[in-house]
Amino acid sequence: ADPDSLQDFCIADLEAQPSINGFPCKPASNVTSDDFFFNGLSMEGSTGNIFGSNVTAANVLAFPGLNTLGLSMNRVDFAPGAVNPPHIHPRSTELVLVVKGQLLVGFVTTGFVYHSKVVSAGEIFVIPRGLVHFQKNVGKGKAMSFTAFNSQLPGVVVLPLTLFGSTPPIPDDVLTKGFQVDEEVVKAIKSKFGN
């Protein structure tokens, strides 16, 4: 959860130098109703990628009106069979609202317990802050969800990209030992993520 604000709002001035926590406010005299409006979640995202899913983020960077308000939202589109791969939000709990189709939503606790549910349209599932989680489209057609966050910028650590697609790469011997697999396996996974 983000800190509480001490003022009604503070529309982010994204051009300004970010301060220690968030963005400075644009001058109040320039604020209009449009600063509290964002239409970027109305369009279906393109799912033509290896995972078959697409996240459209309405965080403070896309929607500056969220600055200091402590919340944000994503739209996630899923082709049939798509996965939103295992990832973490370091700064936020996540509430998944399925709007279309059926998603298998799962997370793993710090004690290695896996919790999951098939979530259908109109149903919600909560993912506690900082835990590894994913969604998979297990319905027949496309699926779509909105995810709500108690942070204006939840951050995302996508595990496959982080571990196998970093610049520069994590050394192979760290990953072979860490995952107890042969070097060919590490190289094969790395090759999928640009390394």
Q: Which residues bind ligand GLV (CB under 6 A)?
A: 55, 74, 76, 84, 94, 133, 135, 147
SS3 112: coil
In the complex with ligand GLV, the residue whose CB is nearer, 22 or 106, is: 106
83 contact, one of Mn ion, ligand GLV, none, CB 5-8 Å limit per kind: none
Q: Binding pattern to Mn ion, positions 5-44, x when CB under 5 A? A: ----------------------------------------
Sheet holding 102-108, edge to edge: 114-120, 102-108, 132-137, 83-88, 157-158
In the complex with ligand GLV, the residue whose CB is nearer, 126 or 188, is: 126
Cβ–Cβ < 8 Å for 119, 84:
no
Phi, psi at 115, each rounded to 5° = -115, 135
Closest distance of CB 186 from ligand GLV, Å: 26
Q: Which two tokens stand for residue 76?
A: 């996630």
For residue 60, count CB atoms less than 10 angstroms from its CB and return exposed for 0-12, middle for 13-18, buried for 19 or more.
buried
Cβ–Cβ < 8 Å for 132, 88:
yes
Taking CB under 5 A as the binding criterion, the range among 44-52, 88-96, 104-112, 183-191 that sits at the site for Mn ion is: 88-96
How many other CB atoms are there within 10 angstroms of residue 30's CB atom?
A: 10
In the complex with ligand GLV, the residue whose CB is nearer, 26 or 133, is: 133
Closest distance of CB 87 from ligand GLV, Å: 7
Taking CB under 5 A as the binding criterion, the range among 24-32, 49-57, 90-98, 112-120 that sits at the site for Mn ion is: 90-98
Residues that bind Mn ion (CB under 5 A): 94
